[in-house]
Chain A
Amino acid sequence: MTVVLNQSFTGISIGAVLLLIALGLTLTFGQMGVINMAHGEFIMAGAYTTYVLQQSLGGAGLPLLLALPLAFLVAGALGALLEWLVVRRLYARPLDTLLVTWGVSLMLQQLARDVFGAPNVQTRAPELLTGNVSVAGVTFATNRLFILGLALLSVLGLTLLLRLTPLGRRIRAVVQNRDLAEVSGIATARVDRTTFFLGSGLAGVAGVALTLVGPIGPTMGTNFIVDAFLVVVVGGVAQLKGSVITAFALGVLQSVLEYSTTVSIAKVFVLVAIVAFLQWRPQGLYTLRTRSLA
């Protein structure tokens, strides 16, 4: 029984990391249709922000707390810059954006190598986040709990932002009918950039979280990016809750399969499961059904 619980907690914490990364993609890919391969490098930017803060401030807890907003701003600014320089010229060609942003991601990785060196670096986790908590015989790593909390908080924040604020209404309006939004007086170009800023900023937050569970390196983003896209694909681009459910489902599936087979075979099985799922729901878990081809 404890094995099952431990394993599902592992799965949920894998899911939390996935969710945190995918959350930004639900904005840039889900809402705007841009396949931003440099999203992984925004994660990296967030992680290095934490590293730099820790190096310059010393200590562990304060830099981590400061890193959360700062990484959001750094990654967000990079995202907005990317949108302004290239992405906005390519809204009509989503597949080409994938390749262009891949090129950007190569350059950002090399930039990180030039600035911080090719080897991975580490941050020290604050005392509080290095231990375990045991509840009824099940051990929870506190850093995993922190990430889970951060992911859920981000989901909540994003949901409230999209539902309740004028900015959220504008973002949804532009997604649903760009032309109509434009003639209704919404500056769609500015909304696009803001959306991109938010989505990329969330990647930065994810980067801060990743420093707690692994090393920081120039290619750290690449390892997560495809999995994160799969989360959004399976979840369906229309709604946040699709990505939330999918992230945790894939996390648990991955960890259960890993337990009974090996990591590499688990990967293959998860992919097969995803392709099979898309046979059943080609548009993902949650879709907006409308008149097609009007």
Chain B
Amino acid sequence: MNGDGLTVRDLRVTFDGFTAVDGVDLDIRPGDLRFLIGPNGAGKTTLVDAITGLVPSTGSVRFEGRELRGRPVHRIARLGIGRTFQTATVFEELTVLQNLDIAAGAGRGPLTLLRRRKEVPEPVTRALETTGLTGLRDRPAGALAHGQKQWLEIGMLLVQDVRLLLLDEPVAGMSHDEREATGELLRRVSGERTVVVIEHDMDFVRSFARSVTVLHAGRVLSEGSVADVQADARVQEVYLGSAAGSGSVPGSVPDSVPGSVPGSGSVPGGVPATATATVAEGA
């Protein structure tokens, strides 16, 4: 089980006395499509920050048997771990092609770097196709629509050839069609790679998650399939209890009310609507 996936043991992150991540254990098998959910301030983003080396932590984070803690950010990235941020960060002044080419080239030697790009590297071509950006490849990334930027970011992770993708709210602010497309993209991508998604939108989670981890106050509250998690009494309590305080998630909340999205029922593995309502409300 802990041979080659992501294994997190007793991970803690403290900011000036405030413990944002409080002893998290996590096992994610290769090829999984795992969703991290939980109310605001549950420590989801901080957990990802700690895994990718952005914030100092204690405990253990192992990926494919190698300890990540203590390595600088760019070394962790070179071990095959990539991430996105809540706000899409692409290189706005560079074209889509240039963005992807940079992502493909972390291992390039100085001589290659000093030369002009002569042909499009093969992984870049494939990523352009996978993300559907082939037609836009010479456009400056800053001119892309919001959803396209997110796809470009995911495409950059693909050419980077990461084996673990950590995505922070990839569908926030997307239209319904874009969400569906993104979900399909994630499904295609996982399988040969491991994907971890932080998400607030419960419809999206229900449609695409293979497994779900619920975080609350820096700890793992519940873990399992979507149905397992939604049936968990503790999860319902947390969401109901904190709904008033932290329910004001910008952007994704209105869409996440069950039933408002047509077609959500047709998704395979749909879940009973009773448990859904409580979870979706708070998310």
In angstroms, Cα B85 to Cα A289, docked, is: 20
Would you call A1 an interface residue if the criterion is a C-beta within 8 Å of the partner chain's C-beta atoms?
no
Contacts of A290 in B (CB 8 A): 15
Q: Are A292 and B45 in contact (CB under 8 A)?
A: no
Contact A289 B15 (CB under 8 A): yes
Q: Is residue A89 contacting chain B, with contact meaning CB distance below 8 A?
A: no
Q: A293–B85 contact, CB under 8 A?
A: yes
Question: In the complex, what residues of A have CB within 8 A of residue B55's CB?
Answer: 291-292
Distance of B142 from chain A, by nearest CB (Å): 15
Contacts of A291 in B (CB 8 A): 15, 20, 45-46, 49, 55
How far is the CB of A145 from the nearest CB of chain B, in Å?
38
Q: Are B15 and A293 in contact (CB under 8 A)?
A: no
Is B122 in contact with chain A by the CB < 8 A criterion? no
Produce 1/0 per residue, A36-48, CB < 8 A to B: 0000000000000
- B108 CB, min distance to chain A CBs, angstroms: 26
Produce 1/0 per residue, A263-294, CB < 8 A to B.
Answer: 00000000000000000000000000111111
Shortest Cβ distance from residue B215 to the other chain A in the assembled complex, whole angstroms: 15
Chain B residue contacts of A293, Cβ below 8 A: 49, 54, 85
Closest-CB distance, A176 to chain B (whole angstroms) = 15
Cβ of B45 and Cβ of A294 under 8 Å apart?
yes
User: Scoring B residues 78 to 105 as 1 if CB is less than 8 Å from chain A, else 0, what string do you get?
Assistant: 0000000110000000000000000000
What CA separation (Å) do A290 and B49 show in the bound complex? 13
The count of residues in chain B whose C-beta lies closer than 8 Å to any C-beta of chain A is 10
Chain A CB within 8 A of B119 CB? no
List, in ascending order, chain A residues with CB within 8 A of B86's CB: 294
A294 to B54, CA, bound (A): 11
Report A259 CB to chain B, min CB distance, Å. Answer: 40
Q: Is the CB of B16 within 8 A of A289?
A: yes
From 1 to 29 in chain B, residues with beta carbon under 8 angstroms from any chain A beta carbon are 15-16, 20
Interface of chain A, helix or strand or loop or mixed? loop
Residue of B nearest to A292 (CB): B54
A294 to B43, CA, bound (A): 12
CA distance A290 to B45 in the complex (A): 13
Distance in Å from the Cβ of B198 to the closest Cβ of chain A? 12
Which residues of A lie under 8 Å from residue B54 when comparing CB positions? 292-293
Instruction: Output the nearest chain A residue to B14 by Cβ-Cβ distance.
Output: A289
Give the CA-CA distance A289 to B46 in the complex, in Å: 14
Residues of A close to B15: CB separation below 8 A = 289-291
Q: Give min CB distance, B200 to chain A, whole Å.
A: 15
Whole-angstrom distance between the Cβ of A32 and the nearest chain B Cβ: 23
Taken together as a complex, chains A and B put the C-alpha atoms of A290 and B54 apart, in Å, by: 12
Per the 8 Å Cβ criterion, residues 44-87 of B in contact with A are: 45-46, 49, 54-55, 85-86
B 189-221 binary contact with A (CB < 8 Å = 1; else 0):
000000000000000000000000000000000
The residue of chain B having its C-beta at the shortest distance from the C-beta of A287 within the complex is B16
**B20 neighbours in A (Cβ, 8 Å):** 291
> A292 to B50, alpha carbons, bound, how many Å?
11
**Distance (Å) between the CB of B83 and the closest chain A CB?**
10
How many angstroms from the CA of A293 to the CA of B86 in the assembled complex? 9
CA distance A289 to B55 in the complex (A): 11
Minimal beta-carbon separation of A116 from chain B (angstroms) = 47
Q: Closest approach, in angstroms, between the C-beta of A138 and any C-beta of chain B?
A: 41
How far is B86's CA from A14's CA once the two chains are assembled, in angstroms?
48
Complex interface: chain B residues within 8 A of A294 (CB): 45, 86
A54 to chain B, nearest CB (A): 50
Q: What's the nearest-Cβ distance from chain A to residue B168, in Å?
A: 10
A291 to B43, CA, bound (A): 11
Nearest-neighbor residue (CB-CB) of B13 within chain A:
A291
CB distance from A248 to the nearest CB of B (A): 26
Q: In the bound complex, what is the Cα–Cα distance between A293 and B46 (angstroms)?
A: 10
Q: How far is the CA of A291 from the CA of B55 in the complex (A)?
A: 8
**How many angstroms between the C-alpha atoms of A289 and B16 in the bound complex?**
7
Q: How far is the CA of A142 from the CA of B49 in the complex (A)?
A: 55
Find residues 119-171 in chain A having any chain B CB closer than 8 Å to their own CB: none
Give every chain A residue within 8 A of B85 (Cβ-Cβ).
Answer: 293
CA distance A63 to B5 in the complex (A): 76
Nearest A residue to B46 via CB reads A291
- CB contacts under 8 Å to B, within A204-226, are none
Q: A292 vs B15: C-alpha distance in the bound complex, in angstroms?
A: 11
Give Cα distance in the complex from A290 to B18, angstroms: 10
Docked complex Cα distance between A291 and B45 (Å): 9
> How does the 8 Å CB contact mask read for A223-235 relative to B, with 1 for contact and 0 for none?
0000000000000
A155 to B86, CA, bound (A): 40
In the bound complex, CA of A294 to CA of B49 (Å): 10
A293 to B20, CA, bound (A): 15
* Docked pose: A289 CA to B49 CA in angstroms: 15
How long is the Cα–Cα vector from A291 to B13 in the complex, in angstroms? 11
A92, chain B: closest CB distance, angstroms: 14
Given A289-B15, A291-B49, list of 10 further CB < 8 A pairs? A289-B16, A291-B15, A291-B45, A291-B46, A291-B55, A292-B49, A292-B54, A293-B54, A293-B85, A294-B45
Return 17 A-B CB contacts under 8 Å, by A number: A289-B15, A289-B16, A290-B15, A291-B15, A291-B20, A291-B45, A291-B46, A291-B49, A291-B55, A292-B49, A292-B54, A292-B55, A293-B49, A293-B54, A293-B85, A294-B45, A294-B86
A-B pairs with the 6 shortest C-beta distances?
Answer: A289-B16, A289-B15, A293-B85, A291-B46, A292-B54, A293-B54
